[in-house]
A and B are shown apart, each in its own frame.
Chain A
């Protein structure tokens, strides 16, 4: 039951993210998003090293991926 509620709330969150037209920027307004430090996987080396440590010291790992963001150029 609890799990079901979680799935539903996740679905709602997703639909709000994807469907809302007022979200987002124009292609020429990506100056801040294009910065290296704004990439989701910025400092990838650090994240990789941290993952290695936590992977071997804790029971859970992963979950992160480096998709999206950036300058939205071509």
Chain B
């Protein structure tokens, strides 16, 4: 079966060239709209996390790429939490049960908020599942990406590190 991926990779070259035209994820600096975060242990606001670098992730139990993002988000949380970084994952399932079942199978090491009415994704105009936003320590939205692509994990991590270093150098 080994040879098949290689064939596919060859076929993909022109596609790759095309895709690079779409890749950038930077966005104009703007304040991240504040949202209410309903977590298992109580209510918080996104603005409570100002002063930290926040990776705000919108996910749903029925979204397959979201499943792939969880192990990586756990790794990032464990690696960078002590440097003033946190992931906040907002679940948009209409049924809380399904979110809980997902979390039982793929436990999260980071704060998870539940938004069954979809208020936060509507405010952020989330274009697809999952979508994540990087917010710097001053509460400015800096980056966004739609989808979770395993082969871009290093790039995602580098983006986080850049904002952490920016925060550290400003102190």
Contact = CB atoms under 8 A, between A and B. Distances in A.
Interface of A: 26-31, 34-35, 71-74
B146 A74 contact: yes
Interface in B46-95: 58, 60-66, 92-95
A74 B118 contact: no
Contacts, number: 53
Interface of B: 58, 60-66, 92-95, 98, 118, 121-122, 126-131, 146-149
Contact of A31 (B65, B93, B127, B147): B93
A28 B63 CA distance: 10
Nearest to B58: A28
A28 B60 CA distance: 7
A74 B66 CA distance: 10
B62 A28 contact: no
Most buried by B among A28, A29, A35: A28
A69 B118 CA distance: 21
Given A31-B93, A31-B98, A74 B65 contact: yes
